[in-house]
Structure 1
């Protein structure tokens, strides 16, 4: 199992990468800020669970490669990311560290497209981001098809679809919740 991740910059340009399963944070466990992260941000995301092996998948067939959807939050050590980029080094350590990818339980999509589902992110009880899944920077099928050009899709892989919204300046005590169609799937605190 691997975590396939779409990474967006502020201009909406996207890159794709793979991170190890050491990054998973499950069961709504609290997120503990690592010592090297003096500035922390996160990106709430729609997550697909791959259910079929595939490579070079056409976008029109991408819906056949997943049957489950959930939500996730990717954490970023902003200070470390800046330092690595300034030194012309890969910023992977700033976004692929242990427990940096919170993952919710998956929901079955049998016969349903996620396009019209409402995706919401709440910080400390306030809704700060809401979109229909089909209104995100790229549709899940578009992201899956593009990702399959670079990486073999395998059963059990998780595809973090990414997004351009990034919540910055997170700190100890913040309470994060992510909802999909009004159902809270992620609910935990930063410690």
Structure 2
């Protein structure tokens, strides 16, 4: 199982971090040890003092594929869910300054919080897109709409599959909208897709 992540897929998020928009989807990976599910708590590690939440729509791959054409990409996922891509922003900044890869800032243990999944027909709005929201201690901190993606889901699947064979169970984190921010011990995060709570995590 692979966790494939897309960076800077919403223009407003790229702008809030003063990042240039990529000409092609920006891909990075997380190992299976990054996965945190079933509502388990996240324990703040001692190697960072500035970990941020990034809520994302997550696609669960349902069949094996390679070099998938965009017109067939919809056949490669049946369920969608939510995930929080945790980012050690202080480590990421240091890595960027030196031109180093940023796996230690993105791929550390339990940095991919995932909730339950819904059939895509149940999760879609009437127009066929997805709306999602993250609440921090009951207050809304992020709202997303898949129509604002720079590269849409089908084209993401097609692009990713050029480089990596897709396998059943792989997860694609499709990018975060604007509104990211730091987490702190004692906080609780809940993610909602089409108004349904799919994700919950306490920070300890």
Please tell me the root mean square deviation across aligned C-alpha atoms, in Å: 1.9
2:11 equivalent in structure 1: none
After TM superposition, give the deviation of residue 95 of structure 1 in Å. 0.4
Q: Aligned with 1:71: secondary structure? A: strand
After TM superposition, give the deviation of residue 136 of structure 1 in Å. 3.1
After TM superposition, give the deviation of residue 113 of structure 1 in Å. 5.5
2:92 equivalent in structure 1: 81
- 1:139–1:83 CA distance, 2 compared to 1 (3 A): same
1:3 equivalent in structure 2: 3
C-alpha distance after superposition, 1:52-71 (max 9, x if no partner): 11111122211010011110
Q: 2:178 aligns with which of 147, 159, 165?
A: 165
Unpaired segments ≥5 residues, structure 2: 9-13
> Residue 185 in 1 paired to residue 198 in 2?
yes
> Is the 2:142–2:177 Cα contact (8 Å) retained in structure 1?
no
> Is the 1:41–1:166 Cα contact (8 Å) retained in structure 2?
no
Unpaired segments ≥5 residues, structure 1: none
Q: 1:94 aligns with which of 93, 105, 117?
A: 105
Structure 1 length as normaliser, TM-score? 0.91
The structure 1 segments of at least 4 consecutive aligned residues displaced by more than 4 Å after TM superposition are 110-114
After TM superposition, give the deviation of residue 137 of structure 1 in Å. 3.6
> 1 CA distance for matches of 2:143 and 2:113?
18
> Residue 127 in 1 paired to residue 136 in 2?
no
Q: Aligned with 2:54: secondary structure? A: strand
C-alpha distance after superposition, 1:130-187 (max 9, x if no partner): 2332333432212211111221111111111112425122211222111001001111
> 1 CA distance for matches of 2:150 and 2:56?
11
Q: How many residues were matched structurally?
A: 191
2:35 equivalent in structure 1: 24
